[in-house]
A and B are shown apart, each in its own frame.
Chain A
Amino acid sequence: MIPISYFLILSAVLFALGMVAFFVKKDLITMFMAIEIMLNAANLAFITLAKSASSLNGQVIVFFVITVAAAEASVGLAIILLIFKQKKSVKTEDISLMKG
């Protein structure tokens, strides 16, 4: 069997990559996708530890995380659509109301 540390390292790397994507990208939609990547990395860690502890609770938590992510995606994308209606753009540079 594969050691659990492999999966945990993969999850750490995926989380870091999601963070890079969040910082590098300039449009709201892709930044939102980067957040989903980070959520998935956390899910991977949950499932790995559930297997290692041979307890199903971790898998149930992941089920809840996926549900919450679906709800979050629907509301977040609605907000992005609203921003696009107002500003005619989804780039972060054009949304600088609070810059002063």
Chain B
Amino acid sequence: MAYTLFFLLSIVCIGSIIGMIATKNQVYNAYLLVLAFASMGGLFALLQAPFIAAVQIIIYAGAILVLFIFVIMMINLRQGLPPEKKKWTYYFSGGIAAVLAGELILSLKGTFSIEPSAPMENFGSPTRIGRLLFTEYLYPFEITSVLILAAIVGAIVLVKKREKK
């Protein structure tokens, strides 16, 4: 059961990213990315991280991708993207990516023999994560709020119209 779910989710995830590379329409790209991120949330749930899975779907597949679609909407799509002449970029980047993936997988060789740990009770539940967030990680958590405030102010200052005096 778990294996079926894992392979299903990973095939959906990889397939939608490959589809994103293949299609040119930006809106379809964003939709495919929603699919990829939602299936990634399913993978997180398989790894006993239900809270992070929910956060992934709400923030990534929900908020961030909606932001992307808003920006795509504001930018005029009518002119379309130019035909991609340089075929060699495909081969070149494919080669580099194959080398990178091979290297990463080689570096993971030590983990092939690790036995999967048995599922633990309450692991990754909101209660435990919340307790960790507000005790051990209190300072990073508070600093994150300042970071978000800075991002909000920065985004508003960047896009607002300057009024002439």
**Interface of A with B (CB < 8 Å)?**
1-10, 12-21, 23-27, 29-30, 32-33, 36-37, 40, 43-44, 47-48, 50-52, 54, 56-57, 59-60, 62-64, 66-75, 77-82, 84, 90-91, 93
Contacts and interface: CB of A to CB of B under 8 A. Distances in A.
Given A1-B119, A81-B159, A51 B47 contact: yes
A24 B89 contact: yes
B42 to A, nearest CB: 11
Interface residues of B, number: 80
Nearest to B111: A5
Contact of A68 (B29, B72, B117, B147): B147
B151 A74 contact: yes
Contacts, number: 213
Contacts of B6: 2, 6
Interface string B56-98: 1001100110011001101100000110100001101110111
Given A51-B49, A78-B155, A1 B68 contact: no
Interface of B, helix, strand, loop or mixed by DSSP? helix
Contacts of B21: 17, 20-21, 24-25
Interface string B31-42: 001001100100
Interface of A, helix, strand, loop or mixed by DSSP? helix
Interface of B: 2-3, 6, 10, 13-14, 17-18, 20-21, 26, 29-30, 33, 36-37, 40, 43-44, 46-49, 51-52, 55-56, 59-60, 63-64, 67-68, 71-72, 74-75, 81-82, 84, 89-90, 92-94, 96-98, 100-101, 104-105, 108, 111-112, 114-120, 123-124, 128-129, 132-133, 137, 140, 144, 147-148, 150-152, 154-155, 158-159
